[in-house]
Amino acid sequence: MSDEGPRTPYYEVYPSRLLVLKMQAVSVSAKLTRREAELLDKLTREYGFISKSEAIRSAVRFYLNLLELRSKDRLRMLQVINELIAPSSRTSSELVEEGHREEDEL
């Protein structure tokens, strides 16, 4: 018999470029504006997430994976995503060039 007490459950996370394959579950709360909460509800329905919590977990994983990319790759990825969400009259290559010019100015 062990005196360790109850063990905290571990959960698998989705495979990603992150090196962490198992993690201890941690609860986190967040305050959202009414507008953000409405957008989260809409996103949850439109993308078929099981719950708002799952949508937030997915967004956090996505953001963490983006952070692992080199800055130019991250910029390109965000520009492609932007084009998918809100297409503009400019091409992706024009957006990438604009990003390079802005980066050079810094």
pLDDT at 35: 93
Look up the pTM and report it: 0.52
Q: Which residues contact 78 (CB under 8 A, 6 or more apart)?
A: 66
Q: Distance between CA atoms of 46 and 80, rounded to whole angstroms?
A: 20
67 vs 95, higher pLDDT = 67
Distance set, CA 90 to CA 27, 64, 78, 84, 86 (Å) = 41, 28, 15, 13, 11
98 vs 18, higher pLDDT = 98
Do 91 and 84 touch, CB atoms closer than 8 A? no
Tell me the per-residue pLDDT of 54-78, one tens digit each, with 9 for 90 and over: 999 888 888 888 888 888 888 888 8
Q: Place 10 in a pLDDT band, splitting at 50, 70 and 90.
A: very low
Q: Distance between CA atoms of 79 and 81, rounded to whole angstroms?
A: 5
Q: What is the DSSP letter of 9?
A: P
Q: Does the pLDDT at position 104 exceed 80? A: no
